[in-house]
Amino acid sequence: MASVPFDPSPLTREGLELLRRRALRSKAWFRLDRVERAIVDLTIKAVDKVRSSTLARMILGIADKLRRWMRPSLKEAALSAGRSLAEKLACVAEAWGNREAKEWLKDPGFILYLGISWLNTPKALGCTT
């Protein structure tokens, strides 16, 4: 059984810590201004879960900025590419009479396998999704 990817909400301490760690690794953290970095740091230190709607809006805006600046992780890139390939394969398989092909789209392990396989395909072969 494949596990579901861990993607905590940026409105929890764990989610903010993960987001900050990834942003630091990709150097996107330093593109934020000092006030935004301080808001995230203080939120991590002060609360387990953001309950204030004003603070939540600010944190979600900062998280959105960081996500736009960060490159997707290998797993995110593989899931994105794999989902596209799985949809195409399921359509072809259904056309050939496989009634259970739509279930492939619900299998994160299969989607990840397809995505990693595609990402590791040499570009010289001319394969595109």
pLDDT in tens, 63-113: 999 988 887 778 888 998 999 999 999 999 999 999 999 999 999 999 999
**pLDDT number for residue 105:** 92
Confidence check: pLDDT of 4 > 50? no
How far apart CA 110 and CA 95 sit, in angstroms, is 20
**Non-local CB neighbours of 71 within 8 Å, separated by 6+ positions:** 26
CA angle 47, 4, 11 (to 5 degrees): 20
Could you write out the three-class secondary structure of the chain? Answer: CCCCCCCCCCCEHHHHHHHHHHHHHCCCHHHCCHHHHHHHHHHHHHCCECCCHHHHHHHHHHHHHHHHHCCCCHHHHHHHHHHHHHHHHHHHHHHCCCCCHHHHHHCHHHHHHHHHHHHCCCHHHCCCC
Specify whether the CB–CB gap between 37 and 29 falls below 8 A. yes
Mean pLDDT of the chain: 87
Specify whether the CB–CB gap between 82 and 113 falls below 8 A. yes
How far apart CA 127 and CA 129 sit, in angstroms, is 7
Q: What sign does the dihedral 45-47-50-54 (CA atoms) show?
A: negative
**pLDDT number for residue 36:** 96
